[in-house]
Amino acid sequence: MGNREALLAGARKCLLEKGYARTTARDIAGAAGVSLAAIGYHFKSTQALLNEALAETMAEWGDRLEESLAVDVSADAGPLARFEAAWTRILASFEADRPLWATQLELLGRIAADDGFKEQFAGGVREARMGMASLALGDASQAGERESWLAGSFYQALLTGVLAQYLMDPENALSGADLAEALRLVAGRPE
């Protein structure tokens, strides 16, 4: 493994252990077993290195999450059953990939303060929204563009809020069944 690859691996390790904001160039160089100067040589800045490591990490994580969300629900299951099954799996991933989920929330504050950072990750958010639309609707190809956008946006908004609650108070976190029951309550639909 060359210095560039070692730095990426070190940065990814630090992201999981320390988060984005608390990771320093020294942390990365130490984890990679290379000099501090190697960061500037290969990436120009620590931020550029962290951003690339973050993009790689999130892409791999997104693939794993997508696989785990392939919901095994019978073809005749209604939207609420699909909703509960999907959220049960999403919530399970909160614990399995807790450092990555925590990093997601950390990045929200950074995105609000850094337009360049926001632009870099806006495409990923749009892509995630469309993935969430498929999760919400089953076969999103049958829905219109607005319906897909609405369903994906709703799932993303719910995801952010539920994640924040989970990270703050995991002992009282909602389950997939709790979320489905809450949705029935607020929609005024007994089932």
In order along its 191 residues, the chain shows pLDDT tens digits of 799 999 999 999 998 888 888 899 999 999 999 999 999 999 999 989 998 898 888 888 777 777 777 656 666 777 788 888 888 888 888 888 888 888 888 888 778 777 777 777 777 777 778 877 877 777 666 778 898 889 889 988 998 899 999 989 999 999 999 999 999 899 886 55
The answer for residues whose C-beta is within 8 angstroms of residue 138's C-beta and 6 or more apart is 79, 82
Select from 135, 16, 162 the least CA-distant residue to 68: 135
Domain 1-54 is found in CATH 2.60.40.1260:
no
- As to burial, measured by CB atoms within 10 angstroms (0-12 exposed, 13-18 middle, 19+ buried), residue 54 is buried
> Mapping DSSP to helix (H, G, I), strand (E, B) and coil, where does residue 13 land?
helix
- Give the integer Cα–Cα distance in Å for 81 and 83: 5
- Give the integer Cα–Cα distance in Å for 35 and 15: 19
For 42, other C-beta atoms within 10 Å of its C-beta total 18
Residue intervals in the chain for CATH 1.10.10.60: 1-54
- Give the integer Cα–Cα distance in Å for 141 and 61: 24
